[in-house]
Structure 1
Amino acid sequence: NAGIAATMPALDYPLAHWQLTMAVNVTAPFLIAQHTLRAMRRKQWGRIVNVASISGVRAGTGRLGYGTSKAALIALTRQFAIEAAEWGVTVNAIAPGPVDTPLIRGMHGGSTAGTYASMLPMRRYGTTAEIAHAVSFLASEQAGYITGHSLAVDGGFLASGLLVRDLFEPAASAPS
């Protein structure tokens, strides 16, 4: 799946960007799945794996459009999954956490990347190969009884409860 994101406060989020984000991150996967499922129904077999995000499961400051769109993609995945199951088709999603890509390196510049990674239980960003392996598994015969699932591939991000705001706001001092 393609995806776009912008980081800004919720009250400053322009409607035009909201609509574009939903079109790319939700409507496009909807149309692709709808088209693809017709062929899969005829064959009585298939796999769809959507690329959502951990931001669709866990809210973070500045992630209004992106997080909401990825949550919608996870819901869309479940809806298609329950309708396609009787055709031998599974529909799942992966929800990556921070992954070491040129885009993320550009967004997490300076000391942000090190700080972010240090707050993850695995103390590092994921790799594109690790994401690909998760997709490959969900697309395989071995995942034939898994459908409607969103697999967090996130180095423990979801389990740890890391909040994006923790990167940008100084920690409050403990009461004395």
Structure 2
Amino acid sequence: MYDFTGKTAVVTGAASGIGAVIAHELAASGATVIVSDLQAEGCDQTVTAIMDKGGKALAFAADVSDPSSMEALVAFAEAETGALHLAVNNAGIGGAQAPVGEYPLEAWQQVMDVNLNGVFYAMRYQIPAMERAGGGAIVNMASILGSVGFANSSAYVASKHAIVGLTKTAAIEYAQKSVRINAVGPGFVETPLLTKNLSQDMLDGLAGLHPMGRIGKPEEVSALTCFLLSDRASFITGSYHLVDGGYTSP
């Protein structure tokens, strides 16, 4: 559907779930994908799976909450492939479940370090690299909870709202420098992180929150993400796009 031949893409949180599916779709469309995650073994597994299908991929274990790690990731992409053109900042954590008045301070800081600071650190080094390459595109993975609240998830909700604001601001700053930056807001999606921690009754309850009556699939998020990275979205920047089965509509 898209032609990313000759392009290098970095995908964080790509060891499994949405990130892995995006990495596969980008590689299938011709990109060389730098598969990054905190878990080195998971990176290697995603890379092997991509290469088994004839795609091009390299693994780089990195911690998005560490700015030096994000700097090294971008430097690796440029050193190994010559340039960086595309990025999906997908890594994130859910955090503790508690009301605001009882939320653990350490858990709050951890969510902010990964979900929000991690996106900022990534873009801090991705954007200059894309300018050196003559332009590029970034998708930051927000959530439906970047636009609505959700009880007992204050840190996660706050971080995702902040990602939307950060995305819009960066998009304005680089709109005339050939770097497009957008955010995607998935609803609840069928990933190992979700399904391994919830019973079937709980999953059914989450499905019922979506007017379509089901939770989403990683491929549905990947389809939107890859479109936004492609030249077909050449006039789209600074936008926040939902893929949520109608969750935010009522």
1:77-98 Cα deviation digits (max 9, x unpaired): 0111001111111100101001
Give the ranges of 4+ consecutive aligned residues of structure 1 lying more than 6 Å apart after TM superposition: none
Equivalent residue for 2:206, pick from 98, 116, 125? 116
- Partner letter of residue 4 of structure 1? I
Task: State how far apart, in whole Å, the 1-side matches of 2:200 and 2:121 are.
Answer: 38
- The share of aligned pairs that are identical, in percent, is 39
1:2 counterpart = 2:91:
yes
1:12-51, aligned counterparts within 5 Å?
12-51=102-141
Task: State how far apart, in whole Å, the 1-side matches of 2:246 and 2:198 are.
Answer: 19
Contact 1:41 1:84 in 2 (8 A): no
The alignment yields a C-alpha RMSD, in angstroms, of: 1.2
Secondary structure of the 1:157 match is coil
1:114-149 Cα deviation digits (max 9, x unpaired): 122123111111101001111100100011111111
Deviation at 1:55, TM superposition (A): 0.9
Equivalent residue for 1:104, pick from 191, 194, 200? 194
Q: TM-score, normalised by structure 1?
A: 0.87
Q: What is the aligned residue count?
A: 160
Ranked by relative contact order (alpha carbons within 8 Å, sequence separation 6 or more), the top structure is 1
Contact 1:2 1:25 in 2 (8 A): yes
Q: Which runs of 5+ in 2 are unaligned?
A: 1-89
- Partner letter of residue 48 of structure 1? I
Deviation at 1:71, TM superposition (A): 0.5
Deviation at 1:34, TM superposition (A): 1.3
- Partner letter of residue 161 of structure 2? A
Q: Which runs of 5+ in 1 are unaligned?
A: 161-176
Deviation at 1:28, TM superposition (A): 1.1
Query: Which structure shows the higher strand fraction?
Result: 2
Task: State how far apart, in whole Å, the 2-side matches of 1:9 and 1:106 are.
Answer: 23
Task: State how far apart, in whole Å, the 2-side matches of 1:92 and 1:9 are.
Answer: 30
Equivalent residue for 1:125, pick from 202, 215, 219? 215
- Partner letter of residue 45 of structure 1? G
- Partner letter of residue 2 of structure 1? A
- Partner letter of residue 157 of structure 2? G
Q: TM-score, normalised by structure 2?
A: 0.62
Task: State how far apart, in whole Å, the 2-side matches of 1:47 and 1:130 are.
Answer: 19
Secondary structure of the 2:249 match is helix
